Structure 1
Amino acid sequence: MNELTVSQAAIPAVAETPAERLYRAFLESQTANTRAAYAKDIDFFASFLGEPSAASAMSHLLALSGGDGNALLLDYRTHMVDAKLAPSTINRRLSAIRSAAKLARTIGFSNWEPEVAGLKAQVYRDTTGPGLEGTRTMIEIALTNTHPGIAVRDVALIRLMFDLALRRGECVSLDLEDLDLAGKRIWILGKGRKQKEARTLPDKTAVALTAWLDEREKYAAPEQHAVFISLSGNSHGRRITGRGVHWVIAGVGADSGYKTRPHGLRHASITTALDVNNGDLRAAQQHARHANPQTTMRYDDNRRDLAGKVAESIANVL
């Protein structure tokens, strides 16, 4: 069997083998974030097998019979559980392998597909975040930063994550061409999407972004198109990273008396959307861009603490 490659490097000058074309097509069919994550996940699988590369790891797996291949993946899953990896991480790493193997079978590189299921994940243990008051405090604290650029940048980030329920990756990937402040619109690349979609900017969010863009010109590196840039360290003036956004939000949260993270602001946004719109699940689902309404319902259940109220009513009759 030809060796598969998960390299994201430039295509070499030599002709690709059919297997190399297959795997390159597989990676390119994913969104940018998924593509990078899948490549890293298969690298982890290669380390487990002791193979020198992700390419040889996939060739190793797909050369096995279906029974032996699934037995190997069961061992791999057990290894990850023993390493105390989060269920979501284990499931994503197995998903990367399943996706590659499915495509390999489709075009004749293998005659079997993995049947090893992922783990049942505990999702949305905390769907509240810092809440409305906590977010308001974070904005007030961010504005007290003595660095004027950092102050308005952080407020703009907090505003986008809360007002529009944006994920940090969606903020990081924003380019100047994605903003239409006059028309009060913004184009974002949502989770799992291949094309950017327009979102309406509330007045206060547009004001916060305008204030940041006015300051941004003083610090941005030449020809830097990112909306949000780092204002510290070696990456000063260049696109801020997801990790950088994490430290910004965690830092402002800590200064405000809250332990929070970027996704906590999104959680707070969705919960607040339900509160101020009389529990309108459809409206909150559209706001959050949840594909499954059940996901939004978890926020509503946690917001109202229905299970807690039932438990209280039962306890009172004992």
Structure 2
Amino acid sequence: MGNVNVCLKLFVEYLQIEKNSSQYTIDHYEYAIVEFFEMLAEQGIVNVEEVQYHDARLYLTRLFELKQARKTISRKISSLRSFYKFMLRENLIKENPFSLVVLPKSEKRLPNFFYEDELEVLFQSCKTDTPLGERNLAILELLYATGIRVSECSTIAVKDLDFFLSTVLVKGKGGKERYVPFGTKAAEALKLYVDNGRKRLLEGKPNQDALFLNSRGGALTARGIRLILDKMIEQSSLTAKIHPHKLRHTFATHLLNNGADLRTVQELLGHAFLSSTQIYTHVTNEKLKKTYMAHHPRA
């Protein structure tokens, strides 16, 4: 029963059924577990119960030698710890070899965000004289207005939009749903796209539930949205790089800078824990410090 493939299959079923984890999360777990046992196979270890603490430590050392990011290493160790915790719960092993492995401290990186004047340049560079242009502006306005993840944006259906209440139903991590409000600018861009650009993209093609469509009238993927954002930056006069979470970081930072409370921002972002949202207070505190140093007579 200690066969890795059998145990991994049981663990994946547990993640899917009991934990309701997303496929993205499950893939990360699987990758870490398979990688770990591929390393152990070199030493002749093929069963989960054969693994001991020193094997877990060796894996950790190997990851550092490969110069992997601390965040990546932490995620992999956490995945294996959860895997063995499940095995322990099912009485398939007698001890968890990862229970004493200390996770490396995460690097303290402040979220990267756009300043308001940079964001304005980005909006101004988005031309709306084509269906794809209308779609791109709608994506940009919605991401900034709601702070949703790119993966969440790609799963929005037309029926999830409520123009009367100015809210969108978002399906987040672990299948959790939340309603997020959007403002007048986003509403205008979305209405223009839904009433005009989206209809033109669908001409002569099968109907689609997805809100955002590609040039062929199919559902736009998260990867497609990332490519669109990259192209927007290229076409603007901005030199800053854009990454999937930058508009999300900008949304949270601008809200806090303008007086929003942390709990509200937590709910809007769909964070399970307040600690995930608190990183943004470091950004706003940095702004306070700069303002103080620039304007206080005895700074």
Q: Which TM-score bucket, shorter chain as reference?
A: 0.7 to 0.9
- C-alpha distance in 2 between matches for 1:187 and 1:83: 41
Structure 1 segment 295-310 matched on structure 2, within 5 A: 295-305=276-286
Amino acid at match of 1:22: L
Contact 2:4/2:46 (8 A) holds in 1: no
Structure 1 stretches lacking a partner, 5+ long:
6-16, 52-56
| Contact 1:175/1:225 (8 A) holds in 2 | yes
Q: Which residue of 2 aligns with 1:22?
A: 10
Q: Hey, what's the Cα distance between the residues in 2 that align with 1:252 and 1:88?
A: 29
Conserved in 2, the CA contact under 8 Å of 1:129 and 1:260? no
SS of the residue corresponding to residue 245 of structure 2 reads helix
Q: What's the counterpart of residue 273 of structure 1?
A: 255
1:95-244 alignment, distance < 5 Å? 95-113=78-96, 114-115=98-99, 116-123=101-108, 125-143=109-127, 148-191=130-173, 193-214=174-195, 215-220=197-202, 222-231=206-215, 236-244=216-224
Match of 2:26 in 1: 35
- The alpha-carbon distance between structure 1 residues 280 and 81, as it changes in their structure 2 partners (threshold 3 A), is same
Task: Show CA shifts across 1:103-135 (max 9, x none).
Answer: 111011111112223221114x23241222222
CA distance in 2, matches of 1:82, 1:224: 48
Count of residue pairs the alignment pairs up: 286
Determine if contact 1:250/1:262 at 8 Å carries over to the other structure. Answer: no
Report what 2:3 is aligned to: 3
**Residue 309 of structure 1, CA deviation:** 5.3
Residues 240 and 83 from structure 1, CA distance in 2 versus in 1: closer, same or farther, beyond 3 angstroms?
Answer: farther
Partners of 1:42 and 1:96 within 8 A in 2: yes
Once the two structures are TM-superposed, the CA of residue 271 in structure 1 deviates from its matched residue by 1.0
Q: 1:216 to 1:40 in 2, by over 3 A?
A: farther
* 1:307 CA drift (Å): 9.1
Q: Does the residue aligned with 1:197 lie in a helix, a strand or coil? A: strand
Aligned runs of 1:229-268 on 2, under 5 Å?
A: 229-231=213-215, 236-256=216-236, 257=238, 258-268=240-250
The alignment's TM-score, normalised by the length of structure 1, stands at 0.77
State whether structure 2 residue 277 is matched by structure 1 residue 289.
no
Secondary structure, counterpart of 1:188 in structure 2: strand
How far 1:169 moved relative to its partner? 1.0
CA distance in 2, matches of 1:180, 1:311: 42
**Counterpart contact for 1:87–1:119, Cα < 8 Å:** yes
Identical residues among aligned pairs (%): 24
* Distance in 1 of aligned mates of 2:262 and 2:122: 27
What TM-score comes out, normalization by structure 2 length? 0.82
Secondary structure of the 1:305 match is helix
What is the CA-CA distance between 1:171 and the residue it aligns to?
A: 0.6
Contact preservation (8 Å) 2:158, 2:210: yes
**Residue in 2 that maps onto 1:73:** 56
Q: Which residue of 2 aligns with 1:62?
A: 48
Residue type of the alignment partner of 2:28: A
Matched, 1:93 2:76: yes
Q: What is the match of residue 11 of structure 1?
A: none
Q: Aligned-pair distance for 1:201?
A: 3.0
CA deviations over 1:71-98 (Å, ceiling 9, x no partner): 1122112212222222121111222222
SS at structure 1 position matched to 2:68: coil
Q: What SS does structure 1 have at the residue aligned with 2:200?
A: coil
Q: Which amino acid aligns with 1:219?
A: L
Q: Is the contact made by 2:4 and 2:47 (CA closer than 8 Å) also made in structure 1?
A: no
**Secondary structure at the counterpart of residue 142 of structure 1:** coil
Structure 2 residue ranges without an equivalent (≥5): none
Give, as a single letter, the amino acid of the residue that structure 1 aligns with 2:46: H
AA matched with 2:267: Q
CA contact (8 A) 1:128 1:271 kept: no
1:290 is paired with a residue whose SS is coil
